[in-house]
Structure 1
Amino acid sequence: MATISKYESVVIFKSNLGEEPTSALLEKFKALVTENGTLETVDEWGRRRLAYPINDENEGIYVQFTFSSDNNFPAEMDRQLKLSDGVLRSLIIRK
């Protein structure tokens, strides 16, 4: 039996994508979380300067997800985030 835990994820999208592709990626990950757990909050922090350049990018679009799911889902979400071209960095932690 899988146990349900609370998680928090911060995702940095590429800033040069444009509004529509960024919105599409955001909706994709919202749907992924909703299918596999309970999406509690999505906090869009907007465009921010990075502390250091990542892949020649100096800015990124930050989004924070708070969700509950079983313990197997964060590994799948991390895999999906790493496969997406529009994602610079991501971090998922258990609260």
Structure 2
Amino acid sequence: MAKNTANYETVAIFNVQAGEEGLAALTEKFKALISANGTITNVEEWGKRRLAYPIQDETEGHYLFVEFTSTPEFPAELDRIYKITDGVLRSLIVVKNEG
């Protein structure tokens, strides 16, 4: 029987106006959500970086990078939650190619 999971990478950019506590809460929220629906293989907090262009009048964002394994249905739900969460400026989820 075929394996029913795939490897993914996601990057989220959070609004730095949320403050240190707000950024920590957003980071923990998404790490917990991903680990509840899959297996996290790598987490990197890239920290505050200047954006290439303003997003919602913001020029800086806090970056979170997560590699994870999950069922193919979960990334769509993760994307939906990114879109409805205050403080998320942008997000991207991609399937990681093997080999």
TM-score by length of 2: 0.92
Is 1:54 aligned to 2:65, yes or no?
A: no
Q: Kindly indicate whether the alpha-carbon contact (under 8 Å) linking 1:46 and 1:61 is maintained by their aligned counterparts in 2.
A: yes
User: How far off its partner does 1:94 sit?
Assistant: 0.3
Structure 1 residue ranges, 4+ long, deviating more than 2 angstroms after superposition: none
- SS for the counterpart of 2:10 is strand
Q: Structure 2: any 5+ residue segments left out of the alignment?
A: none
User: How far off its partner does 1:32 sit?
Assistant: 0.5
User: How far off its partner does 1:22 sit?
Assistant: 0.8
Task: Give the structure with the higher percent strand.
Answer: 1
Deviation string 1:49-86 (CA, Å, 9 cap, x unpaired) is 00000000000001101000000000000001101111
Q: 1:62 and 1:31 mapped to 2: Cα distance?
A: 17
Q: How many correspondences in the alignment?
A: 95
RMSD: 1.2
Give 1 or 2 for the bigger CA radius of gyration: 2
User: Structure 2: which amino acid aligns with 1:80?
Assistant: I
Q: 2:25 and 2:18 mapped to 1: Cα distance?
A: 11
Structure-1 residue corresponding to 2:91? 90
User: Equivalent pairs: percent with the same residue?
Assistant: 56
Q: Structure 1: any 5+ residue segments left out of the alignment?
A: none
1:36–1:28 CA distance, 2 compared to 1 (3 A): same
TM-score by length of 1: 0.96
